[in-house]
Structure 1
Amino acid sequence: MHVDLSVSWLGLAMANPLYNASGVMCRSVAELEQVRTSAAAAVITKSCTPQPRTGNPEPRYCATALGSINSMGLPNAGYPYYLDYARSYPYAAGKPLFLSLSGMTLQENLDMLSDLAAAQLPCLPEVNLSCPNLPGKPQLGYDFQACHEALTQMARVYHGPFGVKLPPYFDPVHFARMAAVLNAFPALRFVTCINSIGNGLVIDVDRESVVIKPKDGLGGLGGSYVLPTALANVREFYRLLPGKHVVGCGGINSGREAFMHILAGATAVQIGTCLYEEGEGAFARILDELRALMAHKGYQRLDDFRGKLKTL
C-alpha cells in the first residue's frame, strides 16, 4: 500500500509531518542545516531574543530514564543571526522555515515582529509564550489577560499568519479560557503544544544531589514523562480551536507516539528530547515506523485518522 505522509497547511506543503522542536538542533546555522538536510519536512529556529544570550550555567540538561530535564535559559545567537539565516534560506527546496521568537519583554517581541514584517520573508513566526526556565520570569501563557493584551499588540504589528508555543495546561477551565483568548485572533493560525512541564526535580540517589545547576535543580521535563499531558493539550486545543492548527510536541520517541499526536488532532509533530539524544537520523526512523503503522491499519493519508480519537 502506498502511504502518503504529506501535509498541506498555512499555505505550505510539507512532505511529512515531522520537524524539530525549538530548542533542539536549532541554535547554530550548522545545526539548522543538519535538520534541513535530514528527513524532517520543516525547520524551526531556536527561540531568540534581540541580543545573544549565553543562557543558564552548566550543567543545564540531563537525560533520564523517562526523558530529560533542562533549564537552558534561552541560550541563542540573537534575532539578527536567525534573520540572516531566514534571508538566505532555500525556500524553493520545499521545506518551510519557522522563526521562534521569545523576547524577555512584550516590547522585545513587538520589535522583532515589526522587523520581521518589514523583511517580508516567507518564514512564519512562532512566538514562545511558555519558557519555564528563566529565573524570576513567569510564563506569560498562564496569565490569560496578559496573553490577550500581548496578542492584541502583536496582531497590530504583524499582519501575516503566525503561531504561538504554549505551556501545558492541566484544568478544563484553563483550556477553555486560553482557547477563548486564541480564538479572538484570526491571524493566529497555529499553536504548538506543549513546551516542557516546568519546574520538575530529578534527584541522583547515588550523589544525593540534583542533576542540573540552575534554579537549585528545578527544570523543564521532556520526553516520555510528558506524553500524556502533551496528548491531552493537543486533543483539547484541536477541539477548542476550530479553523486553527495544532502542532504536537512532547514524548515522541517512535512512529507510535507520532501517530498518537496526529490521532489526537495534530497537523504536524515536533521532535525534541528524542532528537537531542539520537540526532537527525531520528526523523527517518520515526517516519518509517509511522508509515508502517499506517499501512498495517489500512490508512493511506494522515487525514484518514487525524483528530479521530475514540472515546469510551
Structure 2
Amino acid sequence: MNLTSRIATYEFENPLMNASGVWCDDAEKLNEMVQSPSGSFVTKSATPNFREGNPSPRYFEVPLGTINSMGLPNLGFDFYLDYSIRFQNENPGQVNFLSIAGMTLEENLEMLHKINDSEFKGITELNLSCPNVPGKPQVGYDFERTKEVLTKTFEFFKKPIGVKLPPYFDIAHFDEMASILNQFPLQYVNCINSVGNGLYIDIDKEEVVLKPKDGFGGIGGAYVKPTALANVRAFYTRLNKSISVIGCGGVENGRDVFEHLLCGAQMVQVGSQLAKEGTGIFERLLKELKEVMNEKGYESIEDFRGKLKSI
C-alpha cells in the first residue's frame, strides 16, 4: 500500500507528522520523533532567543481534547536550526520542517535571513497564528499585515517555505486569504492552529484551569476537527495547485487521517492526541489508515486525496 506524500519537491514515506508545539521542544523529544514511524517532523515554533513562555498551569487535558496557553516556550532559534541541519546531515535524503514565530516582523525577517544563508535544506514554516501570546494579535487575522509579511519575505527568501494559519470561520475570509496566498510562491499552508481563546471550567472548584489570560487558551482535539476539515477543504479548493495543504486538528484515529486526506491534505499533523499518547500513536494511526484504505479498495493515497464528494 502506497502512503507516499509530497510537499514541494520532497517525498515522504507517509503523511503523518507532529504539530509544531507538540513533542518537539527539546532534543530528547525531537529524537523520539526522528525514531518514530512518522513521515516527517516539525520543530517547535522558534523565537530568536530562548523564551520561558507563560506561567503554569498552562496546559490541561479536557474530555474531547486539550486547552493550552503555552506562550511559545522554546529553546531559541539557533538550537532548532542547528538540530535541523545536523538531522539532514546524519540522514541523507531526509528533511524536516523548521518552524519560526517571531514576536515582530523584524524578528521573523532576521530568522528567515539566517535560514536563507544557512545549510538548511528542508522546509521552513512561518507561523502566522499563535493565539496564546498576551498582547500579540494573530498575524493571520490581519490580511494586510499578512500580505506585507509575505511580500518582504519573498524579496530575499529563496528556499521552500509554507505558512501556518489560524482557523477561519467565514467564507469571505477563505476567499480573501486565498487570494493573498496565491500571489506568492508558497509550498504549502498548514490548517489549522488551535482555535484561540476558548475557556474550560473546573466546576468543582468553580474556577478556570489555566493561569495565563484569565484561563483563556487554544482549543485542540476532537472539538476542532470539523473546523479543521473545513479549512483544509476551503484552501485546497481555492489555492493554486502548486500550494499544498497540511491538515491539523482533531486527529485521534486512522479515520480522522483519512478525512483530512480526503479533503485535500498532503500531510496530516497530530497535536493533542500525540501529547496524550506519545510517539507510539504514529504506528497505530498508520495501521488504522491502512485498514480504512483496504476496506475501500484504495492502494494509494492519491486514489482518494482531495476527492471529497458534494451532494
TM range (shorter): over 0.9
Inter-partner Cα distance in structure 2 for 1:35 and 1:254 = 18
Inter-partner Cα distance in structure 2 for 1:212 and 1:16 = 35
**Cross-structure match for 1:271:** 270
Inter-partner Cα distance in structure 1 for 2:266 and 2:82 = 28
CA 1:95–1:292: 2 relative to 1, 3 Å: farther
Equivalent residues of 1:43, 1:95 under 8 A apart: no
55, 58, 75: which one aligns with 1:57? 55
**Cross-structure match for 1:133:** 132
Q: How many residue pairs end up in the alignment?
A: 309
CA 1:63–1:94: 2 relative to 1, 3 Å: farther
Residue ranges of structure 2 left out of the alignment (5+ in a row): none
CA 1:77–1:146: 2 relative to 1, 3 Å: same
**Cross-structure match for 2:115:** 116
**Cross-structure match for 1:224:** 222
Inter-partner Cα distance in structure 2 for 1:305 and 1:21 = 23
Equivalent residues of 2:174, 2:235 under 8 A apart: yes
Inter-partner Cα distance in structure 2 for 1:51 and 1:96 = 23
Correspondences of 1:41-52 after superposition (within 5 Å)? 41-52=39-50
Inter-partner Cα distance in structure 2 for 1:23 and 1:95 = 21
Equivalent residues of 1:204, 1:211 under 8 A apart: yes
Correspondences of 1:118-197 after superposition (within 5 Å)? 118-186=117-185, 188-197=186-195
**Cross-structure match for 1:10:** 8
Deviation (angstroms), 1:93: 5.0
1:157 is aligned with what amino acid? F
Inter-partner Cα distance in structure 1 for 2:156 and 2:77 = 17
**Partner secondary structure for residue 6 of structure 2:** strand
Equivalent residues of 2:88, 2:121 under 8 A apart: no
Inter-partner Cα distance in structure 2 for 1:310 and 1:5 = 21
Inter-partner Cα distance in structure 1 for 2:280 and 2:139 = 34
Inter-partner Cα distance in structure 2 for 1:94 and 1:36 = 14
Deviation (angstroms), 1:104: 0.3
Deviation (angstroms), 1:90: 3.6
**Partner secondary structure for residue 269 of structure 1:** strand
2:58 is aligned with what amino acid? R
1:125 is aligned with what amino acid? T
**Cross-structure match for 1:104:** 103
Equivalent residues of 1:201, 1:219 under 8 A apart: yes
Inter-partner Cα distance in structure 1 for 2:151 and 2:92 = 34
207, 211, 219: which one aligns with 2:205? 207
**Cross-structure match for 1:297:** 296
Deviation (angstroms), 1:59: 0.5
**Partner secondary structure for residue 157 of structure 1:** coil
Deviation (angstroms), 1:157: 2.5
Inter-partner Cα distance in structure 2 for 1:95 and 1:293 = 28
Inter-partner Cα distance in structure 2 for 1:195 and 1:90 = 26
Inter-partner Cα distance in structure 1 for 2:272 and 2:7 = 25
**Cross-structure match for 2:84:** 86
Inter-partner Cα distance in structure 2 for 1:298 and 1:242 = 29
Deviation (angstroms), 1:11: 1.1
1:44 is aligned with what amino acid? V
1:140 is aligned with what amino acid? V
RMSD: 0.9
Taking structure 2 as the reference length, what is the TM-score of the superposition? 0.98
Deviation (angstroms), 1:311: 1.1
Inter-partner Cα distance in structure 2 for 1:305 and 1:207 = 48
**Cross-structure match for 2:310:** 311
Inter-partner Cα distance in structure 2 for 1:173 and 1:257 = 27
Render the CA deviation track for 1:193-242: whole Å, top value 9, x for unaligned.
Answer: 00000000000111111011100000000000000000000000000002
Identity of aligned residues (%): 52
Residue ranges of structure 1 left out of the alignment (5+ in a row): none
Equivalent residues of 1:60, 1:70 under 8 A apart: yes
Inter-partner Cα distance in structure 1 for 2:195 and 2:167 = 6
1:238 is aligned with what amino acid? Y
Inter-partner Cα distance in structure 2 for 1:189 and 1:169 = 20
**Cross-structure match for 2:246:** 247
**Partner secondary structure for residue 214 of structure 2:** helix
Taking structure 1 as the reference length, what is the TM-score of the superposition? 0.97
**Cross-structure match for 1:35:** 33
Q: Which runs of 4+ in 1 moved over 3 A?
A: 90-95
Inter-partner Cα distance in structure 2 for 1:225 and 1:94 = 37
Inter-partner Cα distance in structure 2 for 1:46 and 1:220 = 16
Inter-partner Cα distance in structure 2 for 1:248 and 1:107 = 28
Deviation (angstroms), 1:279: 0.2
